[in-house]
Structure 1
Amino acid sequence: MTATADSLVVDIVRTLEKQGVPRDAYQLGREFDPEALARLLDTGGDAVEVRLEVRGVSLVVTKQGVWVTDEPPSSQPECPNCGLPVTAVVQLVPTHHNAYPCGCRVEENLLE
């Protein structure tokens, strides 16, 4: 991992620990991609705000830091093909949209 991603992971882990979530209760690499999150924050400007949920704790991540939000955790829609929770829809080419993390092909407005 890059230094930025390492620092981000440490901040997220410390924030989760303050909320009583032990380190052995999750694997961040399965919750989200730390490298991709760090790149998004590095290249997206100061207005980028990413919301994550790890073990029922809703987090807000920006260039300025990581904190817990008071908003209740949102439910994730299920993939219409395989039924797994969908955290993002990835568009690699204009006509193809894939659910993340399962990879099934889906409609682009699945998360709207």
Structure 2
Amino acid sequence: MVVDIVRTLEKEGIPRESYQLASEVDPEALARLLDSGGGAVEVRLEVRAVSLVVTSAGVWVTDEDPSPRPECPECGLLVTDVVQLVPTHHTAYPCGCQVRGDLLE
């Protein structure tokens, strides 16, 4: 999957040396998420202004603009992800504040 992301970005003219994929997305967490979803999970991410859709079936570029990121209701930082470790606990990323689970929906 990581190789597919890198190749897709190269096709869009983004050279490998212009970004560090691990700073844009956690490849291991992404793989676990896709594996756990049984084909029903679709992850959208942006690397160097290229919007990507990643599924267990592959990676492709989308023309859709990524949705604007909300501010954390606790600290005001932009929220890029909400992590749920147990059903009742949702943590905003990157700030680490506890938030409601539907913050990014």
TM-score by length of 2: 0.83
Size of the aligned set, in residue pairs, is: 105
| Alpha carbons 1:57, 1:73 under 8 Å: kept | no
| TM superposition shift of 1:101 | 2.3
Query: Hey, what does 1:108 align to over in structure 2?
Result: 101
SS of structure 1 residue aligned to 2:14: coil
How big is each residue's C-alpha offset from its partner over 1:59-92, in whole Å with a ceiling of 9 and x where there is no partner? 1111221100121232222223444331221223
Where do 1:25-64 residues align within 5 Å?
25-64=18-57
Q: CA deviation at 1:9?
A: 1.0
For residue 49 of structure 1, report the CA deviation from its aligned partner.
1.5
Q: Deviations over 1:4-38 (max 9, x none)?
A: xxxx1111011111112222222211211101111
Instruction: Tell me: CA distance 1:63–1:92, structure 2 relative to 1, closer, same or farther (3 Å).
Output: closer
Q: What is the DSSP-based 3-state SS (H/G/I as helix, E as strand, rest coil) of the residue aligned with 2:13?
A: coil
Matched, 1:15 2:8: yes
Displaced runs of 4 or more, over 6 A = none
Residue 95 of structure 1: CA displacement?
3.8
Q: Is contact 1:21–1:55 with CA below 8 Å preserved after alignment?
A: yes
Gaps of 5+ in 2: none
Structure 1 unmatched runs, 5+ = 1-7
Root-mean-square deviation (CA, aligned residues, Å) is: 1.8
Residue number in structure 2 paired with 1:78: 71
Percent of pairs with identical residues: 77
Aligned to 1:3: none
